Chain A
Amino acid sequence: MTKSSLRRSNHLLSDPKQQIKILASGTFSSGALPTFSETLNKQDVTLKTDTLDILQVNLGYMCNQTCAHCHVDAGPDRKEIMSPETIDQVIDAIDRFLPNTLDLTGGAPEMNPEFKRLVSAAVERSVDDIIVRSNLTILESNDHFKSYPQFFKENGLHVVSSLPHYSMKTTDRQRGKGVFSKSINALRRLNALGYGRVKNLKLDLVYNPSGAFLPGSEKELEADFKRKLKTDFDIDFNRLFCITNLPISRFLEYLQASENYEEYMEVLVAAFNPATLSGLMCRNTLSVGYDGKIYDCDFNQMLQMPVSGKKQHLIDLQRGDYSGRKIVVHQHCYGCTAGSGSSCQGSIS
């Protein structure tokens, strides 16, 4: 299991083509497990986009952390960040698409020098819900970033932050030594500003399993997180989003290195829940890469599987182009349809 990015360690799986090759072979090519497309065919379903609600923008793969399960393979060594020109294109896209939600992700989105400009532009355009997916530790990293929570508040940003567990041991194992304490400090500062405590300052946490298993009940985990974080640290938050680890990038590398890959895929396939199909995030989301290329979701972005059709860059896409496009799928999609389903907003059903 890697502690640096796959890219930095020249790992074979740093190449998305190699990841797709693994997902296409083995138990899927032998017919032991049905491919995701075969499962959709069996359900007589073709996944297509509905209406664009969420514009999810990846501001770059640079991050101050190197988390064990990162599907982005982000880290301090990744230099790919969205340029000012592409930020302009995103702002133009907000004008064209009028999304209800602008979802800013990374890496650590705050590390893009254009972050504040993009947020201000979205505020000017009255985007209803502007999400920053903050890893929390960046807000503790130096005086510059320590001022960001105040900026979040002034602009009414919705903060969504990963916290794999309410115990230090589990969190630090997945996200790095010292991450838990820094995260707690950042959460306390966000709380002090009103986040998670007053109505319009939403603070949601993201839980993903620390290993080769599916998340449990979102409702029960949320109750446990709330009780433990309140009792131990006097921390409040709004919702807990449970996200399933998809078998790509560093998590795929972990699954292979720990010899859990086949069993994990069997679990995902066995847990396929057709009721999740109508609520999949790819149906109302457009994922934008740091270079302006567009994808059906953040995971397809990391696998470099662009949207179907000829218009594969943000500047090409007009408002009317979004709906009815066939969504590009592969075996990793089983992660979003397992059990209660999984999306960037937590479970589906």
Chain B
Amino acid sequence: MSDNYYNSKDLKNFKNISDWSKPLGDRFFEYYSKVFEEGALSAREKSLIALAVSHVVKCPYCIDAYTKDGLQRGVTEEEMMEAVHAGAAIESGATLVHAVQMMNKHKKLSH
């Protein structure tokens, strides 16, 4: 066993999750590949969304995978970083919007 919680080589074994529950694993991977096909959004746009979400959910496997995917699609450094900022802005906004609740509570309790 590794002393680390994350091992980059585990990404290659992602498909092995089906070993312990094939029907669910198969359906997940079928759904996953369908999601990233060309649709109303291009596969390139979806790749950038996935990169942003990867950062928000702080998944190192996903960050590796979608950085590489972006490179293969010719996505530029600037596009990648803007996508991450979009995710970060939503994430920090989600924190900050709770400040309204804090302010409301503060006002209610304060004399």
| Residues of chain A having any CB pair with chain B under 8 Å | 165-167, 169-170, 207, 209-211, 213-217, 220-221, 224-225
B52-82 to A contact mask, C-beta < 8 Å, 1/0: 0000000000000000110111101100000
CB-CB < 8 A to B73: which residues of A?
216-217, 220-221, 224
Instruction: Name B's interface SS.
Output: helix
Interface size range of chain B in the complex: 10 to 19
Closest 10 CB pairs of A and B: A216-B72, A216-B73, A213-B71, A167-B76, A221-B74, A213-B68, A213-B72, A224-B74, A214-B72, A165-B74
Contact A211 B71 (CB under 8 A): yes
B43 at the interface (CB under 8 A from A): yes
How near does chain A come to B54, taking the closest CB pair, in angstroms?
Answer: 17
**Which B residues lie within 8 Å of A169 (CB)?**
76-77
CA distance A224 to B73 in the complex (A): 9
Please give me the residue from chain B that is nearest to A165 by CB atom. B74
Q: In the complex, A229 Cα to B77 Cα: how many Å? A: 18
Interface contact B76-A170, CB-CB below 8 Å: yes
Interface centre among A209, A216, A224 (most CB of B within 10 A): A216
- Report B16-45 CB contacts with A as 1/0, cut-off 8 Å: 000000000000000000000000001110
Contact, CB under 8 Å: B44 / A209? no
CB distance from A226 to the nearest CB of B (A): 12
CB–CB B72/A209 < 8 A: yes
| Mask of B67-111 contacts with A, CB within 8 angstroms, 1/0 | 011011110110000000000000000000000000000000000
Which residues of B approach A to under 8 Å, CB–CB? 42-44, 68-69, 71-74, 76-77
Measured CA separation A169–B71 after assembly (Å): 14
Measured between beta carbons, the chain B residues less than 8 angstroms from A221 are 73-74
- How far apart are the CA atoms of A167 and B75 in the complex, in Å? 10
Chain A hits for B42, CB < 8 A: 220
Query: Which residue of chain B has the shortest Cβ distance to A267 in the bound complex?
Result: B68
- Measured CB to CB, the closest approach of chain B to A225, in angstroms, equals 8
Query: What would be 24 A-B contacts, judged by CB atoms less than 8 Å apart?
Result: A165-B74, A167-B76, A169-B76, A169-B77, A170-B76, A207-B74, A209-B72, A210-B71, A211-B71, A213-B71, A214-B72, A215-B72, A216-B69, A216-B72, A216-B73, A217-B43, A220-B43, A220-B44, A220-B73, A221-B73, A221-B74, A224-B44, A224-B73, A225-B74
Report the bound CA distance from A207 to B68 in whole Å. Answer: 16
A216 to B68, CA, bound (A): 10
Q: How far is the CA of A210 from the CA of B69 in the complex (A)?
A: 13
CA distance A217 to B75 in the complex (A): 13
Residues of B within 8 A of A209 (CB): 71-72
Which residue from chain A places its CB closest to the CB of B38 in the assembled complex? A220
Known: A211-B71, A215-B72. 10 other contacts (CB 8 A): A169-B76, A170-B76, A209-B71, A210-B71, A216-B69, A216-B74, A220-B43, A220-B44, A224-B44, A224-B74
Contacts of B69 in A (CB 8 A): 216
Closest CB in chain B relative to A18 CB, distance in Å: 29
The distance from the CB of A175 to the nearest CB of chain B, in whole angstroms, is 16
Cα distance A166–B76 in the bound complex, in angstroms: 9
Measured between beta carbons, the chain B residues less than 8 angstroms from A225 are 74
Closest A-chain residue to B71, C-beta based? A213
| Nearest CB on A from B71, distance (A) | 5
Residues of B within 8 A of A170 (CB): 76
Q: State the Cβ distance, A271 to closest chain B Cβ, in Å.
A: 11
Q: For the complex formed, measure the closest distance between the CB of A205 and the CB atoms of chain B, giving whole angstroms.
A: 12
| B71 partner residues in chain A, CB cutoff 8 A | 209-211, 213
Which residues of the partner chain A approach B68 to less than 8 Å between Cβ atoms? 213
Interface centre among B44, B71, B77 (most CB of A within 10 A): B71
Q: Shortest beta-carbon distance, A347 to chain B, in Å?
A: 13
Chain A residues near B72: list those with CB within 8 A.
Answer: 209, 213-216
With a CB–CB cut-off of 8 A, which chain B residues contact A211? Answer: 71
Q: Using CB atoms, name the residue of chain A closest to B42.
A: A220
Q: How far is the CA of A165 from the CA of B72 in the complex (A)?
A: 11
Chain A, Cβ-Cβ closest to B70? A216
B-side contacts of A216, CB under 8 Å: 69, 72-74
CA distance A224 to B72 in the complex (A): 12
